[in-house]
Structure 1
Amino acid sequence: MSSSDIFIGETIGTAILILLGGGVCAAVTLKASKARDAGWLAITFGWGFAVLTAVYTSAPLSGAHLNPAVTLALAIKDKDFSNVPTYVGGQLLGAMIGATLVWVAYYGQFRAHLTDKEIVGGPGAQATATKAVEAQEKGAGPVLGVFSTGPEIRNVVQNLATEIIGTIVLVLAVLTQGLNDKGNGLGTLGALITAFVVVGIGLSLGGPTGYAINPARDLGPRIVHALLPLPNKGGSDWSYAWIPVVGPLIGAAIAAGIYNVAFA
């Protein structure tokens, strides 16, 4: 596959991934959304279906890595790093496009949410206002969770370990199931399996950090959150932002090592 196919495929696929994945977070989070308060189960299945749709769409062009952690693991496995910058560039651009499209699709809901006194603070909403203030003191604005992840308990070692463990599970599943003959990405069966793996990781390991398990999925939308003209949006929590980038990359390297020792 050519460099242009890889870049275009990863850009389109990751944009779809973030549009549908960030979209379910917006649907569950924002006021005036019909799916508000649908819960964690809706989010985990939403992300699973997002992965499924994105992989099916982009696999013919790029092999559907959609995740720098997957790209790194495959590069380590195959000892070929030549296409890594092209994959990662497309993934980061696609993630930013997808996050921007979530904002467009939920524009009215974002404005209603971020101008509501119960969300940003005001008389008669002290408990909710206090929670919003506490979140912003930690650097996270009231809608940052639509765009990127954040921990329920801030403990660097635990948060990093959670992202590493979750990514090991994801990457081992990708490496051992559904790879096409050339090992460049996921086939049809692999897409379905990986989608269910993402749901499983979310249900079992998503509670502590929101399970980024994908550096582009977290960093690209976090950049968009920082740039978008959202009223009362608060901070983008840059002090935490390195964990959902570094953790998945470490997990990918460990998973590739396990694969090369145990399965290759």
Structure 2
Amino acid sequence: MSSLDIFTGETIGTAVLILLGGGVCAAVTLKRSKALNAGWLAITFGWGFAVLTAAYISGGLSGAHLNPAVTVGLAVKGGTAWGDVPVYFAGQLLGAMVGALLVWASYAGQFRAHLTDPEILAAQPAEEGMVDQKTAPQAGPVLGVFSTGPEIRNVAQNLVTEIIATSVLVLAILTQSTIGGVLPTDPKGPGVMGALITALVVVGIGLSLGGPTGYAINPVRDLGPRIVHALLPLPNKGGSDWGYAWIPVVGPLIGGALAGGIYQLAFA
């Protein structure tokens, strides 16, 4: 596949992933949404369906990595050329930002209603100096729609959780008989079932390991929307919690590389 195919497929696929995944977070979180307070099950299954849809759409172009951790794991395995890795990363980050913008466009009225609601505003610190930096360092009231955050802020635990969860995801992908990612270049054959299996793995990870950190398991899934949150002119949006932002980037990349190494040792 060409670099253009890779970049196009990853941009479109990751945009769809974030649109549907971030969309379910918005639906469950924001005031005046019909799915308000639908809960963790809705979020985990919503992200699983997001992976499934994005993989089917982009698999024929790029192999549907949709995740730098998957790309790294495949490169370590030997299924992806290291020279293609920056192209995958670029498409994935751009797609994640586009997807986050589409979530905002789809829920613009709900964002406005939520961020101007007196009850929501009353729950936020009145001044930046009132924020406890150890427990809630400037995470705004809608940041969870865009990116992840820990329930208990402990750098070592949060990092280990993301490494473990991502290792499970990437190893599950690497051990499927696919070409280049979740789907082969020709999306006929075992890759089609592989996309479904991967989506169910994402649901399982969310149910089992998502509690501590919100299971980013994908650097651009967190970083791209976090950048968009920082740039959007949302009233009373609060901070983007950049002090935590490196963990859902570094942890999944380590997890992807670790899964690739495990594959080489145990399965190759």
Judge same fold: TM > 0.5, yes or no: yes
Letter in 1 for 2:148: T
Shift of 1:129: 4.4
Shift of 1:177: 1.5
Supply the distance in 1 between the matched residues of 2:181 and 2:239 (Cα, whole angstroms).
38
Match of 2:160 in 1: 161
Match of 1:83 in 2: 84
Contact 1:92 / 1:220 at 8 angstroms: preserved in 2?
yes
Letter in 2 for 1:47: W
Contact 2:96 / 2:224 at 8 angstroms: preserved in 1?
yes
Secondary structure at 1:151 match in 2:
coil
Contact 2:182 / 2:195 at 8 angstroms: preserved in 1?
no
Match of 1:2 in 2: 2
Bigger drift between 130-139 and 199-208 goes to 130-139
Instruction: Give ranges in structure 1 of 5+ residues lacking alignment.
Output: 122-127
Give CA deviations for 1:106-126 in whole Å, capped at 9, x if unaligned: 0000000000010011xxxxx
Match of 2:188 in 1: none
Give CA deviations for 1:208-241 in whole Å, capped at 9, x if unaligned: 0000000010000000000000000000000000
Instruction: Give ranges in structure 2 of 5+ residues lacking alignment.
Output: 184-190
Match of 1:125 in 2: none
Letter in 1 for 2:45: F
Secondary structure at 2:105 match in 1:
helix
Supply the distance in 1 between the matched residues of 2:56 and 2:260 (Cα, whole angstroms).
24
Supply the distance in 2 between the matched residues of 1:203 and 1:131 (Cα, whole angstroms).
34
Letter in 1 for 2:84: N
Contact 1:178 / 1:191 at 8 angstroms: preserved in 2?
no
Bigger drift between 79-88 and 190-199 goes to 79-88
Match of 1:116 in 2: 117
Secondary structure at 1:82 match in 2:
helix
Residues 235/130 of structure 1: CA separation in 2 closer, same or farther (3 Å cut)? closer
Contact 1:178 / 1:189 at 8 angstroms: preserved in 2?
no
Letter in 1 for 2:143: L
Contact 1:178 / 1:188 at 8 angstroms: preserved in 2?
no
Matched, 1:252 2:256: yes
Letter in 2 for 1:169: V
Match of 1:124 in 2: none
TM norm structure 1: 0.94
Contact 2:27 / 2:35 at 8 angstroms: preserved in 1?
yes
Match of 2:231 in 1: 227
Q: How many residues align?
A: 256
RMSD of aligned C-alpha atoms? 1.7
Letter in 2 for 1:105: S
Supply the distance in 1 between the matched residues of 2:204 and 2:138 (Cα, whole angstroms).
29
Supply the distance in 1 between the matched residues of 2:76 and 2:121 (Cα, whole angstroms).
46
Supply the distance in 1 between the matched residues of 2:163 and 2:94 (Cα, whole angstroms).
24
TM norm structure 2: 0.92
Supply the distance in 2 between the matched residues of 1:167 and 1:38 (Cα, whole angstroms).
25
Letter in 2 for 1:209: T
Contact 1:147 / 1:221 at 8 angstroms: preserved in 2?
yes
Residues 261/105 of structure 1: CA separation in 2 closer, same or farther (3 Å cut)? same
Q: After the TM superposition, which residues 186-197 of structure 1 pair with which residues of structure 2 at under 5 Å, given as runs?
A: 186=183, 187-197=191-201
Contact 2:182 / 2:198 at 8 angstroms: preserved in 1?
no
Matched, 1:143 2:142: yes
Match of 2:217 in 1: 213
Shift of 1:80: 2.8
Supply the distance in 2 between the matched residues of 1:178 and 1:153 (Cα, whole angstroms).
38
Supply the distance in 2 between the matched residues of 1:260 and 1:7 (Cα, whole angstroms).
27
Identity, % of aligned pairs? 76
Contact 2:163 / 2:255 at 8 angstroms: preserved in 1?
yes
Shift of 1:131: 11
Match of 2:15 in 1: 15
Give CA deviations for 1:174-226 in whole Å, capped at 9, x if unaligned: 0001413xx45422111000000000000000000000000010000000000
Supply the distance in 2 between the matched residues of 1:90 and 1:143 (Cα, whole angstroms).
25
Match of 2:187 in 1: none
Secondary structure at 1:194 match in 2:
helix
Secondary structure at 2:83 match in 1:
coil
